[in-house]
Chain A
Amino acid sequence: MRPIDVTILDVVSEAPQIKTLWLDRDLDPYPGQYAMLWIRGLDEVPMSFSGPDSITVQSVGEASEALTSLGKGESIGLRGPLGRGFTILGERILIIGGGVGVAPLAFLGEQAADAGREVTSLLGYRCCSDMIFLERFQRLGRTVVTTDDGSSGICGRVSAGLEALDIDEYDQIYLCGPEMMMWDVISKIREQAEKIQACINRYFKCAAGICGSCCLDPEGIRVCVEGPVIRADRLLESEFGRYRRGPTGGKGPCRG
């Protein structure tokens, strides 16, 4: 498909560096799916949906900076929804999110709650000023917060919050956040990996499953079409948490 022209109805600041763009239409995505956003004349980047008609962006580079600088009434090109999102399974679900990675999970949690699921959330932030979407999660059910600096909730990484929960109680776990945070969680509860759905990030170029830049070693999973949501047992023996490829296809360290 060609990119469609989407107008930004509103821009809401969620935290320093993080903004939500409200789009002029409901694109009916599954939570965990993404769109390729084209900032005309600059670049095209993948972003997860934080709702059926919203995208939440953290400014980390030239393209995301341009997205967060857009104003009401401006337009972007959009391809999507793309990829495989989360599947709602079981009766009791646990959401584990880190930083801006909580955005697709808030969307997922709301759909799960609407479908009658019991939702518990474990959210990790760097500090209290980064705590986006906290109220969205609190409305859904029990919410445990961790901050790296202890300015709110449990002091420490998200995995520190795992101790406050009985992981065996949950039928399905939904995970999204910085790669090393996700890897930390998956390795700590690796015996539960089959019930973890992780929304991961790789360098996307085509977003159509043919260029190969996002393929995950050693199976060659095309993250842009077979993901970005991947069951964690497939990640355990993969490159995930160890290295990732950049724009050249060369290997580099994982971020975050």
Chain B
Amino acid sequence: MKSDGQSYRPESNSAIPMLLSFFCSSPPMPSLSVHVGGLDLKNPVLLAAGILGTTGASLCRASRAGAGGVVTKSIGSVPRAGHPGPCIVHVDCGLINAMGLPNPSYRDFQEEIDAARRGGAPVIASIFGSSAEEFAQISRSLDADAFELNLSCPHAEKYGSELGRYPDLVESVTGAVKAASNVPVWVKLTPNTADILELGLAAQRGGADAVVAINTLKAMAIDIETGYPILGNRFGGLSGRAIKPVAVRAVYDLASRLEVPVIGVGGISSWEDAVEMIMAGATSIQVGTALLQGYGIFEEIISGLSAYLQRKSITLEELCGMAGRRT
């Protein structure tokens, strides 16, 4: 277990809250600010990659809705239209998607990042490529507050988890981007592997500032009237409530062994889910599929988390990894 205290930085020293608590009947609002993976965030609730991340305007909107940071749609080196539809299918407790990494290429994306930054929260550019050099080239060409390496998309040939399931490739891609860029590098890991910990350790060896777990689980839905696979790509990645327990376990395992912070993502749709993920060891969390409920989800999770910390009289730092300390 990494040492606490490095991951969190209180927003202010304790003098002012103490004074406030002296005059007010209720205890001070707990600080939600967090230093994670090389970034200072006003709160630990981020917008996940691939969700409302195609345009600067929609990222800005997430930022203004309260997100502590926003991750863009994954950006590659050439324009891609993505897979034919249907691109999503709702299933019990979740969503399967196969968007197919649509993006205008990094050459046409800087203006979106610049627009997204007007929202105030750090903008993390998710990037993908088929080789370490391609990742490095994109990271050299984009100006963002951090990069999140998509080594985990489960439904695009030659990209994502097709590289990301090999620890040696995870390490070399991470190392190449670290060498090419001067901003923090986060590595998003795939759960479609026998041992996600191996992938996390590889990212750490490559110099990752944080790992993000998990991406979607490979999944499929079939139309029983006709036998056709519903998604245009035939299979895709499962997200949403269904995968939360899988994500909690992955984050728990990673946080128990890695020195670098773990950012938890997968099925978080309430403040209770956020608390659970942080207890598993996540220093911050990302929200994706729950945006189906609208942008209000950020405020809902943030205020719920804040009220929880207040009720329990604990800090975010104390909450982080609590499950690992319970024996």
Interface assignment of B120: CB less than 8 Å from any CB of chain A: no
Question: Do A77 and B52 have beta carbons less than 8 Å apart?
Answer: no
Question: Do A248 and B80 have beta carbons less than 8 Å apart?
Answer: yes
What 1/0 flags go to A200-219 for Cβ under 8 Å of B? 00000111111111011111
Question: Do A209 and B292 have beta carbons less than 8 Å apart?
Answer: yes
In the complex the two chains form, what is the Cα distance from A222 to B115 in whole Å? 17
Question: Do B88 and A206 have beta carbons less than 8 Å apart?
Answer: yes
Number of contact residues on B: which range applies?
A: 35 or more
Interface residues of A in 1-57 (CB under 8 A from B): 1-3, 5, 36, 38, 40-45
In the complex the two chains form, what is the Cα distance from A45 to B87 in whole Å? 11
Interface assignment of B296: CB less than 8 Å from any CB of chain A: no
B86 CB to closest chain A CB, in angstroms? 4
Chain B contacts for A59, CB-based, 8 A: none
With A38-B85, A44-B232 known to touch, is A210 a contact of B223 (CB < 8 Å)?
A: no
B187 CB to closest chain A CB, in angstroms? 23
Question: Do A222 and B292 have beta carbons less than 8 Å apart?
Answer: no
Chain A contacts for B55, CB-based, 8 A: 212, 215, 217, 220, 245, 249
Interface assignment of B104: CB less than 8 Å from any CB of chain A: yes
With A212-B51, A245-B54, A250-B79 known to touch, is A42 a contact of B292 (CB < 8 Å)?
A: no
With A2-B221, A5-B225 known to touch, is A212 a contact of B230 (CB < 8 Å)?
A: no
In the complex the two chains form, what is the Cα distance from A211 to B99 in whole Å? 8
Interface assignment of B153: CB less than 8 Å from any CB of chain A: no
Interface assignment of A73: CB less than 8 Å from any CB of chain B: no
Number of contact residues on A: which range applies?
A: 35 or more
Question: Do B52 and A212 have beta carbons less than 8 Å apart?
Answer: yes
What 1/0 flags go to A216-228 for Cβ under 8 Å of B? 1111101000000
Question: Do B230 and A219 have beta carbons less than 8 Å apart?
Answer: no
With A2-B91, A44-B232, A248-B79 known to touch, is A220 a contact of B102 (CB < 8 Å)?
A: no
Chain B contacts for A219, CB-based, 8 A: 57, 61
Chain B contacts for A41, CB-based, 8 A: 228
Question: Do B73 and A212 have beta carbons less than 8 Å apart?
Answer: yes
Interface assignment of B150: CB less than 8 Å from any CB of chain A: no
Question: Do A38 and B86 have beta carbons less than 8 Å apart?
Answer: yes
Interface residues of B in 61-86 (CB under 8 A from A): 61, 73, 79-82, 84-86
Known: A2-B230, A41-B228. 12 other contacts (CB 8 A): A3-B86, A40-B223, A42-B84, A44-B85, A44-B232, A75-B226, A211-B87, A211-B88, A222-B58, A248-B103, A250-B104, A251-B108
Which residues of A pack against B, CB within 8 Å?
Answer: 1-3, 5, 36, 38, 40-45, 75, 77, 79, 205-213, 215-220, 222, 245-251
14 contacts between A and B (CB under 8 A): A40-B228, A44-B86, A77-B230, A205-B88, A206-B88, A210-B291, A211-B51, A215-B54, A215-B58, A217-B55, A220-B52, A222-B58, A248-B81, A249-B102
In the A-B complex, the 8 residue pairs with the closest CB atoms: A44-B85, A250-B104, A220-B57, A247-B81, A212-B52, A220-B58, A220-B61, A212-B54
